């Protein structure tokens, strides 16, 4: 997974014109830990092929808008399976398991608190 993240870090650095740090808050998860984290049964986290992370510009030490990161990655030609946007949160999820669908999704909750991940970014 590191080579995917390094290519993404380089893209972000070129785009923002400064060094960018990727802060990984979650990577490999066992099945039990993944369930506790609310992950799906097919999560790339269980294969060590996904991470949750946020991004920091190192010139002024500010967090980069997670939606802007997803839009930049989606518009690039870099490979990924899924990027997930979490409205109101600083982090994004990125997964790199085959078949590398280049899907962008976002998290919503229904009235019962059950999570859904429809395609695209919220309008
Ligand atoms: Zn994740």
Question: pTM for this structure?
Answer: 0.94
Q: Rounded CA gap, 81 and 15, in Å?
A: 22
Give the model's pLDDT for residue 38: 82
Q: How far is the CA of 91 from the centre of ligand 1 (A)?
A: 9
Ion ligand 1, residue ranges at CB < 5 A = 52, 93
**Annotated domain spans of the chain:** 2-116
Q: How far is the CA of 27 from the centre of ligand 1 (A)?
A: 8
Q: How far is the CA of 37 from the centre of ligand 1 (A)?
A: 9
Give the model's pLDDT for residue 37: 86
Q: How far is the CA of 15 from the centre of ligand 1 (A)?
A: 24
Cβ contact 123:116 at 8 Å:
no
- Which pLDDT band, with edges at 50, 70 and 90, does 42 fall under? confident
Q: How far is the CA of 2 from the centre of ligand 1 (A)?
A: 15
Q: How far is the CA of 33 from the centre of ligand 1 (A)?
A: 12
Average pLDDT, the chain: 96
Q: Which range, of 24-33, 38-47, 102-111, averages the lowest pLDDT? A: 38-47
CATH topology of domain 2-116: Muramoyl-pentapeptide Carboxypeptidase; domain 2 (3.30.1380)
Interval 71-88 mean pLDDT: 97
């Amino acid at each position: 997974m590191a080579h995917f993240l390094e290519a993404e870090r380089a893209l972000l650095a070129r785009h923002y014109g400064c060094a960018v740090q990727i802060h990984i808050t979650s990577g490999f998860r066992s099945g039990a830990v993944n369930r506790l984290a609310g992950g799906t049964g097919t999560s790339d986290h269980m294969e060590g092929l996904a991470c949750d992370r946020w991004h920091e510009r190192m010139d002024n030490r500010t967090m980069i808008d997670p939606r802007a990161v997803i839009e930049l990655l989606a518009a690039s030609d870099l490979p990924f399976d899924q990027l997930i946007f979490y409205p109101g949160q600083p982090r994004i999820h990125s997964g790199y398991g085959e078949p590398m669908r280049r899907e962008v999704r976002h998290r919503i909750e229904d009235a019962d608190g059950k999570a859904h991940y429809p395609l695209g970014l919220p309008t």
